[in-house]
């Protein structure tokens, strides 16, 4: 267990919003609207240009009550840093500070930050409970990914999604299936329905049927022993034999689809393989697979992260950061989650409250033995 000591400061604590440095990352962790809300209980620093890629200027942050500083100042002055992704060079962060960002499931990142003396509150660790729903970054960003996956899939398709009746003839609607009926899959179903596709949904959890059908899609559930209800709304892991049985059962359904959106994931494990090379070869040329599980290995055996692979005329796209394509709204939702978390962790006097008995806080700390000396609530 890593022990991290948080440096002592005076209340209210200094919160710093970091400019993202990861390639292609256009989101910002806190928007001006939420800066205005958290500024009532904290002091807020914003790194120069932090919100520009998402459509939020430095002037907007100043109007909201923040102070604009350079990268060196934010690292040395902020007690609690806010970022979408952890910094590429964590060794430059001030010893005794804390970081709220994604990357909570990456043990290497947490270890490096702990060695530097930085407490990492990984956003992926937030429990999927009613009490923590307003802080659930994964769900809000998955909604964006589900929407964007259909838009990207439609762009890559050789056919149209909706039915068109023209003087030149009738264009029949494309068929689409969402593999995985979590937040992203359900949003993909809703989006494809709005665009006029004939939509299907699959999940190994029979309990997902009602949600899929409520959106007007047909629920596909092959007659095999694969039901795997896991914790927190996720599916449970399956054996290799179960996965093979499921792949063969799904292959006939997938062969009828022009667009496949795949989002099946299991926290902390490699994504299950639902589409192998044999299944792809059974699909019609011009079909498209958008694999939202690419970051954890992919639901297709042919997926390569952030690349478009063509196999037998079928395009397989494995994006790992679709929310950045819609950076303004993605940032707005991400920021609302972070603001709700800050309101939970920081009291009205601006003191950080890390209560090990609180299930949200204990999950965020994730096994790190923090000895905070921030201004703490009694």
Rounded average pLDDT over 62-74 = 96
* CA distance linking residue 25 with residue 22, whole number of Å: 6
Rounded average pLDDT over 49-62 = 98
The predicted pLDDT at position 308 comes to 98
Q: Do residues 39 and 144 both lie within one domain? A: no
- Quick check: is 338 in a domain? no
- Quick check: is 63 in a domain? yes
The predicted pLDDT at position 375 comes to 47
Nearest one of 304, 321, 334 to 25, comparing CA atoms: 321
pTM, two decimals, is 0.90
Rounded average pLDDT over 340-353 = 92
* CA distance linking residue 60 with residue 173, whole number of Å: 44
The predicted pLDDT at position 111 comes to 84
* CA distance linking residue 336 with residue 286, whole number of Å: 39
The answer to whether the beta carbons of residues 211 and 182 sit under 8 Å apart is: no
Which CATH number covers residue 228? Answer: 3.40.50.720
What burial class does residue 193 get, using C-beta atoms within 10 Å of its C-beta: 0-12 exposed, 13-18 middle, 19+ buried?
middle
Choose the catalytic residue: 73, 77, 133, 134: 133
Choose the catalytic residue: 56, 61, 234, 317: 234
* CA distance linking residue 305 with residue 103, whole number of Å: 17
Nearest one of 188, 191, 217, 185 to 204, comparing CA atoms: 185
Name the band, by pLDDT with cuts 50, 70 and 90, for residue 184.
very high
Q: Do residues 39 and 168 both lie within one domain? A: no
**Does the structure show a pLDDT above 50 at 2?**
no
The predicted pLDDT at position 366 comes to 73
Nearest one of 82, 101, 195 to 141, comparing CA atoms: 101
Where are any strands of DSSP class E within the chain?
3-6, 14-17, 43-47, 67-69, 80-82, 98-101, 119-122, 164-166, 169-171, 175-179, 198-202, 218-220, 259-262, 288-291, 308-311, 314-317, 369-372
- Tens of pLDDT, residues 185-208: 999 999 999 999 999 999 988 889
Q: Do residues 225 and 113 both lie within one domain? A: no
Which tokens is 57 given?
A: 């200027």
The count of domains in the chain is 2
The predicted pLDDT at position 87 comes to 85
Name the band, by pLDDT with cuts 50, 70 and 90, for residue 343.
very high
- DSSP label at residue 229: B
Q: Do residues 19 and 99 both lie within one domain? A: yes
Q: Do residues 229 and 317 both lie within one domain? A: yes
- DSSP label at residue 38: H
Mean pLDDT of the chain: 90
Rounded average pLDDT over 324-352 = 95
- Quick check: is 198 in a domain? yes
- Quick check: is 102 in a domain? yes
Name the band, by pLDDT with cuts 50, 70 and 90, for residue 23.
very high
Q: Do residues 173 and 281 both lie within one domain? A: yes
Rounded average pLDDT over 265-279 = 91
Note if 368 is an active site residue.
no
- Quick check: is 299 in a domain? yes
Q: Do residues 315 and 182 both lie within one domain? A: yes
- Tens of pLDDT, residues 204-233: 888 899 999 999 999 998 766 655 555 555
Note if 234 is an active site residue.
yes
The predicted pLDDT at position 9 comes to 52
**Does the structure show a pLDDT above 50 at 373?**
no
Q: Do residues 177 and 315 both lie within one domain? A: yes
Q: Do residues 170 and 312 both lie within one domain? A: yes
Q: Which domain holds residue 228?
A: 140-325
Choose the catalytic residue: 67, 85, 105, 128: 128
- Quick check: is 341 in a domain? no
What burial class does residue 245 get, using C-beta atoms within 10 Å of its C-beta: 0-12 exposed, 13-18 middle, 19+ buried?
middle
- Tens of pLDDT, residues 224-262: 665 555 555 555 566 778 888 899 999 999 999 999 999
Name the band, by pLDDT with cuts 50, 70 and 90, for residue 372.
very low
Choose the catalytic residue: 73, 139, 238, 301: 139
Name the band, by pLDDT with cuts 50, 70 and 90, for residue 354.
confident
Note if 133 is an active site residue.
yes
**Does the structure show a pLDDT above 80 at 125?**
yes
- Tens of pLDDT, residues 155-174: 999 999 999 999 999 999 99
Q: Do residues 113 and 156 both lie within one domain? A: no
Name the band, by pLDDT with cuts 50, 70 and 90, for residue 150.
very high
Q: Do residues 154 and 184 both lie within one domain? A: yes
Note if 128 is an active site residue.
yes
Q: Do residues 173 and 244 both lie within one domain? A: yes
- Quick check: is 332 in a domain? no
The predicted pLDDT at position 377 comes to 45
Q: How far is CA 337 from CA 3, 101, 203, 367, in A?
A: 27, 11, 27, 22
Task: Pick left, alpha or beta for residue 143 (phi over 0 → left; psi -120 to 50 → alpha; otherwise beta).
Answer: alpha
Choose the catalytic residue: 34, 79, 136, 203: 136
How many CA within 13 A on the CB side of residue 286? 10
The predicted pLDDT at position 109 comes to 86
- Quick check: is 334 in a domain? no
**Does the structure show a pLDDT above 60 at 342?**
yes
- pLDDT > 70: percent of the chain: 90
- pLDDT > 90: percent of the chain: 73
């Amino acid at each position: 267990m890593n022990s991290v000591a948080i440096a002592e400061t005076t209340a209210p604590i200094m919160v710093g919003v970091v400019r993202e440095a990861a390639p292609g990352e256009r989101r910002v962790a806190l928007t001006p609207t939420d800066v205005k809300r958290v500024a009532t209980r904290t002091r807020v620093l914003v790194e120069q240009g932090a919100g520009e890629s998402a459509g939020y200027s430095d002037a907007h942050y100043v109007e909201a009550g923040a102070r604009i500083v350079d990268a060196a100042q934010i690292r040395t002055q902020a007690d609690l840093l806010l970022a979408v992704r952890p910094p590429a060079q964590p060794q430059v962060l001030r010893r005794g500070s804390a970081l709220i960002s994604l990357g909570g499931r990456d043990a290497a990142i947490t270890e490096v930050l702990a060695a530097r003396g930085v407490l990492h509150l990984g956003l992926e660790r937030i429990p999927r409970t009613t009490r923590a729903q307003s802080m659930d970054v994964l769900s809000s960003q998955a909604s964006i990914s589900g929407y964007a996956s259909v838009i990207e899939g439609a762009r890559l398709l050789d056919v149209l999604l909706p039915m068109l009746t023209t003087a030149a003839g009738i264009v029949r609607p494309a068929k689409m299936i969402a593999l995985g009926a979590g937040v992203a899959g359900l949003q993909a179903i809703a989006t494809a329905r709005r665009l006029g596709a004939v939509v299907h949904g699959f999940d190994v959890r029979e309990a997902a049927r009602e949600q899929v059908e409520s959106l007007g899609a047909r629920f596909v559930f092959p007659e095999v022993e694969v039901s795997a209800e896991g914790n927190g709304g996720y599916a449970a892991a399956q054996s290799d034999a179960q996965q093979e049985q499921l792949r063969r059962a799904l292959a006939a359904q997938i062969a009828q689809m022009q667009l496949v959106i795949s989002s099946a994931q299991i926290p902390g494990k490699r994504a299950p393989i639902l589409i192998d090379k044999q299944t792809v070869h059974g699909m019609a040329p011009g079909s498209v697979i958008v694999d939202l599980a690419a970051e954890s290995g992919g639901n297709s055996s042919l997926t390569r992260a952030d690349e478009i692979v063509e196999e037998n005329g079928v395009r397989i796209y494995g994006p790992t950061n679709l929310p950045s394509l819609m950076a303004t709204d993605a940032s707005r939702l991400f920021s609302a989650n972070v603001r709700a978390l800050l309101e939970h962790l920081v009291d009205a006097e601006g003191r950080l409250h890390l209560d090990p008995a609180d299930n949200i806080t204990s999950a965020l700390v994730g096994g790190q033995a923090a000895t905070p000396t921030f201004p703490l609530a009694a």
